[in-house]
Structure 1
């Protein structure tokens, strides 16, 4: 690693600082050019003017220079020139790799976007395959100031490869504030996933600390770079497990210049009804079962009836009659096509009107399309459609299904047992959609019916994180949002903590509607220390026997502490461990079973330790976060103090789920983990 020598222009580090200053000046000029654009003589109408104005505003926002974020983090010196690119020096070409493209006033690149094809070599080149790279340079920063660099001479066979100190330092930076991007530390196996084709769905099974969430977010940024127009029109979405998680990751894409990617939880996607109730674990598992899709399909079609009387349409002085058998054929043909219920309902009047027009032609008349439209809107046909193919309100239909045992029994015959029907029925149903005791699982059922009636619009790409916790019906809800697009599915089977957690990715991808998806496994950790992940992996035989234990590049012997206390001293010992962690740089997460949180709220207040809730941004004065075990998934802290593992396990409805919750809690630490317990540790950790 090269450190500052003398601050003159012959110093290589100073030259790099000069390039950084010039690049920042060029970025400011690019932003000023965008701000100075005058569209008064360009836009033809107020609509086009508004569209252009919005595009310019987004461009200005994307060109913002974040002073504490490195504009570039690497440099590539090629051995030979690359056609079509600007050249520096007599040999090959030199490119600075950064978070966005920056060019000078002549249009020549000063910084190349990390997503550009030429940047791929920065992540994948090696001494075995140098990809025509002579030298790869990494830069070290303190805040926004360039402070060091180190070189890898990939074309020199005499030079032995050593671990990058700057890469390790970047990975191990304290986690104060929300999640950061990882553009400077993407590894070759991660880069392959990030740059995978837009048309294919990819599933990433990743152990804790392998960077699967970051990979998914960077994949979105890459796809928007490579296929912007396509995805801009269709839209992109990141789906996370809870609001705390989404708050934690919300700054990653804006830091990469992507400001228009939507974020939501599954529950926010299905906000058709107000959730005010809660299911038992048994009821939630049944409602989340894929069998409910057929029950709901039957319920939607239950209102379709066949006519018992002929249709008579009056046109002027003549009456046109369609017999019952013809009406039956038309309705049965529509019902048999399995098109959306609403689309069939809209097609039925035209089908009936067309049949009437055939009668009119046979009677010597010459009707045209206007006559058919008029017949389709006639009072007689409207009445028949209303009677035989009635309007379906999704929320009202699910309300009826869950509150009327006889209706549920008819729709669930041969699918759900009588006991299962009793488990999901409402004991005290509401009288209306507004007063009904809707649960989170019920809202997903309403979303399913909504799609059965009218097709859900499809997005271009969806990232689904912590996917192992979704039920089959929740997978279907997400899959509806990308039926014509692709998806990136992220998760870890060992971290499934819901009663309906998926048992295999093939099963999950089937319910998502992406059975052809390619599954990649990340087992090398970059965040969690080896000592911590090895300790947590003792639980794998009990919670996910098919998964290989993760390894970590973070070696060391002082990252794990197991402390036994007396029951009366447990809370005080946890608070003391928090003080010890806060004496070091970075964030500290105190993770405890949900039921024990009030103990620590009182104890921390009494000790004068200010704390935040998950997803909140830490500050220099407040770096302690009090985390219920149920919300720990997906979050990271420099230091974790874990209270009473046995209580974490006992807080779940069954032991296996409890051990999975414990596995999640044990693997949130980036630098150090202290486990404080008075009760015996679970036997699986021995």
Structure 2
């Protein structure tokens, strides 16, 4: 049965608890099922308000031993109250399951959070609970004991439609859910939304994968890989909350615009404490306080600095100051002098080097090893020293002086500063690893006088982070989500891997969208650098957001940019709006007049896109952005920059092609594809950047060009002088 399908509304928040099965609040009225469901929604909202009021009424004044415990407990209560917020335009549940035998006679309402009544019986079950899993995976072929799956449709927070699937009824044929299709294709304004109501079986398998294993998702555009990664974090926090609360979680994205775009997904799922960062922000927070990113590298310099061989260069440099003592160490205690000869000290130093310990840990072990040698001599002389004596000897000035000379302290930032400024020092430690030209590419043109004054690049800071880890271990988190991973260098993978060395990771990306000089060639190689060579690699090829015609057009580039990848498909029933427009008179023009005609065609395309509901993104090569901004301003069109949140009144965003990755818009106007390709250092990278730009559209794409299109995109379906 299907009631009228409206536009489903936006989302609510879950609570981390899995309830036991229970009966619905009252028996359904067969003559008015929609009215019954509306009644259950109203009752659920009332129950949620009661849960919040109970939390607000908690008195913790006399339950803590001191003010510190009181502050901690109060912060937890405040977080609990915040998580119980009920937003008027967000539905508490989006589905319902009626089981045959397991919990027979019980109805489960599936939503973004758990809600219970005054007796503790569940009125809404968290989507992450085991009992909710068949909502995503049950089918006619495998009903998983589900008799009925019901989906709900909302308009402005009001429940206005439902749709039933009788999974065990042989008379009912397998069909596509109209409400599901409507939700997938719904226009969007503002930041990325969760997909909790539309998760597909293959996505759900990834979302619910165990915490102990790392999962790598190769996902074509529109397959929902970013959403899968975020929902996986939410699921793991539900299933392993205590463990991850202790060890921490992190989402890593390519840039601040992307992180701003996705920042509302986890809070909408009730997870308020997950931190987000770029790789640069992540490593900058760990290294020397005065190391600030203020410079940029050329393509070759960045490629070499990001190469995994730099890890060995740094290891050699960090250990370069270690020397075998030439003098004995003499410790005076009372009237006795204890002498450890130079050859024995050299053996201790050599043994620590051979153990390949972290530099700082070995430096801390060295005085204890020297002290132990002294204690052996004391015992041989008939004394009976204990651990306190060994600690005292280890702190002796003579021992400290020996350690300082043999194993000097290393400042990671100063070490990397010297490596990038001193050609002889670099040559000594890069011998046999980097060629002379590569060494020249790595060196700074203007050597810095100090850490604070240096113009560190993003790649330099990763080197400092590597050096810092060689000195002392980087703390590990419980789980890390790494999105747009295909653009990371091997050294950046190593930096991320250090943050989950004892935890797990979810790696998300698309090899076809790699646009950096060091773009990932294969996931096997990337996972090896990450330190997770045994990770499971999953491939998502079924698209949900990009229209069929658009993804087919963009896929013409795949043989040139990623010949080993399967072409993506789309389940979208709507073909979407698609056209390729050539500005005729400007085709051969190179003067200002030709650019003005192209600008005018782009402005017209933006106006047409704004006639439709939803967000509009104008994507252009970097050198074109200023010109197009001026043209839009002259035309009276209000335009946003990347990262600024769209609204019903302001829906047009001007996006440099370099920042488009990971973003999506209902309608995209793509300016001059040839310019997008030409702005990159080589054609293959340029074609990959173009592939990214072409696949940002959800409902419609208009390509406007004056210069010839890349060969793979010329001619064929969809190309026309107008819409």
2:73 is the counterpart of 1:52: yes
Matched, 1:199 2:193: no
Deviation of 1:551 after TM superposition, in Å, equals 0.2
Partner of 2:615: 587
1:249 aligns with 2:262: yes
1:29-108 map, 5 Å: 29-82=50-103, 92-108=105-121
- 1:438-463 Cα deviation digits (max 9, x unpaired): 11100000000000001000000000
1:675 and 2:688 equivalent? no
Instruction: Write the distance in 2 (CA, Å) between the matches of 1:279 and 1:245.
Output: 22
2:673, 2:705 within 8 Å by CA — same for their partners in 1?
Answer: yes
What pairs with 1:430-441 in structure 2 (closer than 5 Å)? 430-441=448-459
Equivalence for 2:663: 635
Range with bigger deviation, 133-142 or 535-544: 133-142
Unaligned residue ranges in structure 2 (runs of 5+): 7-28, 587-593, 715-723
Q: After superposition, what is the alpha-carbon deviation per residue over 1:101-158, rounded to whole angstroms, capped at 9, x for unaligned?
A: 0000000100000000000000000000111111100000112111111101111001
Query: Which residue in the other structure is 2:336 paired with?
Result: 318
Please list every run of at least 4 consecutive aligned residues from structure 1 whose deviation after the TM superposition is greater than 6 angstroms: none
| Residue 225 of structure 1, aligned match among 235, 238, 241 | 238
Aligned partner of 2:25 in structure 1 is none
**In 2, Cα distance between equivalents of 1:440 and 1:672:** 36
Is the Cα–Cα contact under 8 Å of residues 4 and 13 in structure 1 kept in the other structure? no
Do structure 1's residue 359 and structure 2's residue 368 form an aligned pair?
A: no
Compute the displacement of 1:365 (Å).
2.2
Indicate conservation of the 8 Å contact 1:538/1:685, yes or no.
yes
- Which shows bigger deviation, 396-405 or 34-43? 34-43
How far did residue 11 of structure 1 move? 1.8
Task: Give, in whole Å, the separation in 1 of the partners of 2:509 and 2:37.
Answer: 40
Pair 1:154 & 2:167 matched: yes
TM-score, normalization by structure 2: 0.92
Per the TM alignment, residue 63 of structure 1 is displaced from its structure 2 partner at its CA by: 1.0
- How far the C-alpha of 1:437 sits from its partner, in A, is 2.0
Q: What is the distance in 1 between the residues matched to 2:99 and 2:685? A: 52
- Residue 434 of structure 2 corresponds to 416
- CA positional deviation for 1:554: 1.1
User: What SS does structure 2 have at the residue aligned with 1:203?
Assistant: strand
Moved more, 420-429 or 108-117: 420-429
Maintained 8 Å contact 1:570/1:677: yes
Give the equivalent residue in structure 1 for 2:717: none
1:124 aligns with: 137
Secondary structure class of the residue paired with 1:499: coil
**Which residue of structure 1 aligns with residue 604 of structure 2?**
576
Q: Equivalent residues in 2 for 1:171-570 (5 A)? A: 171-271=184-284, 272=287, 273-565=291-583, 566-567=585-586, 568=594, 569-570=597-598
Give how far 1:621 is off: 1.0
Quick one: distance in 2 between partners of 1:684 and 1:283? Answer: 31
Q: Distance in 1 between matches of 2:226 and 2:498?
A: 22
Normalising by structure 1, we get a TM-score of 0.97
Looking at structure 1, the residues matched to 351 and 75 of structure 2 have their Cα atoms a distance apart, in angstroms, of 48
Contact 1:78 1:133 in 2 (8 A): yes
Where in structure 1 are there 5+ consecutive unaligned residues? 83-90
Deviates more, 1:311-320 or 1:664-673: 311-320
Corresponding residue for 2:123? Answer: 110
CA contact (8 A) 2:520 2:526 kept: yes
Residues 387-429 of structure 1, C-alpha deviations (whole Å, 9 max, x = no match): 1100100000000011111111111111111111111011211
Paired with 2:190 and 2:574, the residues of 1 have a C-alpha distance of 25
Maintained 8 Å contact 2:448/2:454:
yes
User: How far apart in 1 are the matches of 2:30 and 2:64?
Assistant: 48
Cα drift, residue 257 of structure 1:
0.3
Aligned 8 A contact 1:204 1:491 in 2: yes
CA–CA distance in structure 2, aligned partners of residues 584 and 557 of structure 1: 15
Distance of 1:319 and 1:10 partners within structure 2 = 100
Matched residue of 1:231: which SS?
helix
